[in-house]
Amino acid sequence: MNALYNVQKANILYGKAIRDQILKEVSEEISELKEQNVSPFLMTVEVGNDPATAVYKESQRKLASQIGINYETIELSKNTSQERLLKTIDRINRDPVINGLMVHMPLPEHIDARKVQWSINSMKDVEGVTPYNMGKLFLGAEALYPCTAEAIMALIRSTGVEIKGKEVTVVGSSSIVGKPVATMLLKEEATVSICHYATSQRGMLEHHVRNAEILVVAAGVPNLIPGDWIREGAVVIDAGINRVGKDIVGDVDFEGAVKKASYITPVPGGVGAVTVAYLMKNTVTALKRQLEARHG
Ligand code: NAD
């Protein structure tokens, strides 16, 4: 075979540069706020000990302390009742010192995760999970948006590729990634197809992926997308985070896709690196809006 067919082609979209740029801007905002004697405070709540949450918490804590955001986690045992958790959230909702609140997922089965997320004060909802913030996103209004969706949009924009009018496929339709990013892409006037497990069951996933000039994948299925499905020159954003043995892999067959895409995110080091920066950014945005609301 001609060796040329085997060479890597795509630009690798590492998240680090975008993350550092966001953090630089956020740090400047924090310095200005500190001159007014206010500091952002992000509280996270965890129920039970999930190993993945431990990793997220550590990277959040590190980043928060690096840029001057107070960061704490309330760790509740896995047997905590829903009522006790809701009371904890209510207390945080009313605490004027705390600006941002996120509840780590997954929650134990006896707890209704939706009820818990929807009980978060929408002004402190730094993950954009409440109906108020989701509704505003749907209507194209300013709000606190889901961090992963924002990270995906930042990575796409960083390529300079025009979104307007493009054929875009989003694989995964969860409320936290697939649906919000599809909504954001629609706002940018892309033609968006949203795929999910039933698309695969009907054997139509390949068709939609092959059509995509911009492909966003957030399904949580390792190597769901074979490299040869990727359209020549496509922008490929892989948000999947899957543990396979000791490795972390995405949802796209990276080795195959890199030969066809024009841009592709690595896993790890792509979307995830930017997502946590948006959590910090949203915490500062939340604080600023709270100050505006307080001072009229
Ligand atoms: P989810 O389980 O809530 O949703 C998965 C979606 O993928 C669903 O819409 C489902 O229908 C679809 N899906 C599942 N199997 C499929 C298949 N075979 N074919 C087509 N579609 C299929 O998951 P989620 O919370 O949206 O997370 C998705 C992935 O993104 C996970 O790997 C998760 O770890 C990762 N994630 C990454 C970040 C980040 O910052 N990088 C943040 C959140 C989630």
Pick the CATH number of 38-122 from 3.30.70.20, 3.50.50.60, 3.40.50.10860, 3.40.470.10: 3.40.50.10860
Q: Which residue's alpha carbon is nearest to atom 22 within ligand 1?
A: 197
This prediction's pTM: 0.96
Say how far apart CA 72 and CA 237 lie, in whole Å.
Answer: 31
The residue among 142, 144, 140 whose CA lies nearest residue 120 is: 144
Give 122-149 pLDDT, tens digit per residue.
999 999 999 999 999 999 999 999 999 9
Give yes or no for a contact between 266 and 12, defined as CB atoms under 8 angstroms apart. yes
User: How many residues does the structure list for the chain?
Assistant: 296
Average the pLDDT over 4-29 and give the result: 89
Taking each helix axis as running N to C, give the angle between helix 16-35 and helix 51-67, from 0 to 180 degrees, rounded to the nearest 10.
50
pLDDT (0 to 100) of residue 6 = 55
Q: What is the DSSP letter of 106?
A: P
- For residue 273 the two structure tokens come to 């690196």
pLDDT at 2: 40
Please give the average per-residue pLDDT across 81-95, as a whole number. 98
Structure-token pair, residue 203: 């054997």
Q: What is the pLDDT of residue 295?
A: 83
In testing the pocket of ligand 1, which one of 50, 145, 196 has its CB within 8 Å of the most ligand atoms?
196
Q: Relative to the CA of 52, which ligand 1 atom is closest?
A: 34
Ligand 1 atom with minimal separation from the 274 CA: 40
Ligand 1: centre distance to CA 203 (Å): 18
Query: Where in the chain are the domains?
Result: 38-122, 147-272
| From the candidate CATH numbers 3.40.50.10800, 3.40.50.720, 3.40.50.300, 3.20.20.70, the one assigned to the domain spanning 147-272 | 3.40.50.720
- What are the strands, taking DSSP E only, across the chain? 11-12, 41-47, 70-76, 100-103, 167-171, 191-195, 214-217, 235-238, 242-244, 247-249, 263-264
CA dihedral 203, 207, 146, 111 (to 10 degrees): 0
What's the CA dihedral at 127, 141, 264, 169 to 10 degrees?
110
Which two three-digit tokens encode residue 254? 């990276």
* Mean pLDDT for all residues in the chain: 96
Q: Mean pLDDT, to the nearest integer, of 189-215? A: 98
Residue 4 has pLDDT above 90, yes or no: no
**Do 147-272 and 38-122 fall under one CATH topology?**
yes
Give, in order, the Cα–Cα distances in Å from 239 to each of 5, 46, 120, 271, 275: 27, 23, 25, 6, 10
In 179-239, at which residue ranges do the beta strands (DSSP E only) sit? 191-195, 214-217, 235-238
Q: Specify the range with the lowest mean pLDDT, choosing from 50-54, 138-142, 244-248.
A: 50-54
